Structure formats: structure tokens, C-alpha cells
């Protein structure tokens, strides 16, 4: 199982991808559209590999406009 950890900062979003290696891959976005692009790309990659994805969040609400209702459809695409 792959874990995607979303951590919000005031001006950007960190997306850490734990695939079982020693260190996670980290991607960052400074806009919601770029965040959605990152999530779609990662979900498509893991779906193609046949892997399940778990999403976790830290420091919710710091990047004012990111809401769970925007993340949930991206997670459901992988189910």
C-alpha cells in the first residue's frame, strides 16, 4: 500500500509519497489546480501498477482553500 501525506502550509501544499523506500518522494503545489494535477498523475500511476493508495492529511486548513470534498473524488477514482 502506498501512503500519500498531504501537508498544508499557508502558501503551498506538500504531497509526500511513501512507496516503501527509505525516503518519500515529495511534490509541491502552490495552487489548487497544480495540486489536482499532482493527485491525478499519482493516482493514475498507482492504478496502472495495481497499488492501493491511502491518503492522510496534516495541518489542515492552513492553505485556506483546500477542502476534503476536493480530495475525496480523487481518492474514489482509485477505488
| Contact criterion met (CB below 8 Å) for 7 and 55 | no
Per-residue pLDDT at 76 exceeds 60: no
According to the model, what pLDDT value does residue 56 have?
A: 87
Q: Are 9 and 61 in contact (CB under 8 A)?
A: no
- Cα 60 from Cα 19, distance rounded (Å): 23
Residue 5 binned pLDDT confidence (cut-offs 50, 70, 90): very high
pTM: 0.79
Q: Which residue has the higher pLDDT, 71 or 18?
A: 18
pLDDT of residue 29: 94
Q: Which sequence spans correspond to the domains of the chain? A: 2-76
Read off the pLDDT of each residue in 11-30 and give the average, rounded to a whole number. 92
The pLDDT, as a whole number, for residue 1 is 87
Amino acid at each position: 500500500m502506498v501512503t500519500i501525506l498531504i501537508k498544508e502550509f499557508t502558501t503551498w501544499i506538500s504531497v509526500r509519497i511513501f512507496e516503501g523506500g527509505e525516503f518519500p518522494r515529495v511534490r509541491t503545489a502552490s495552487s489548487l489546480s497544480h495540486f489536482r494535477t499532482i493527485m491525478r498523475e499519482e493516482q493514475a500511476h498507482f492504478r496502472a501498477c495495481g497499488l492501493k493508495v491511502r491518503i492522510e492529511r496534516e495541518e489542515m486548513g492552513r492553505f485556506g482553500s483546500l477542502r476534503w470534498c476536493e480530495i475525496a473524488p480523487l481518492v474514489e477514482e482509485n477505488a
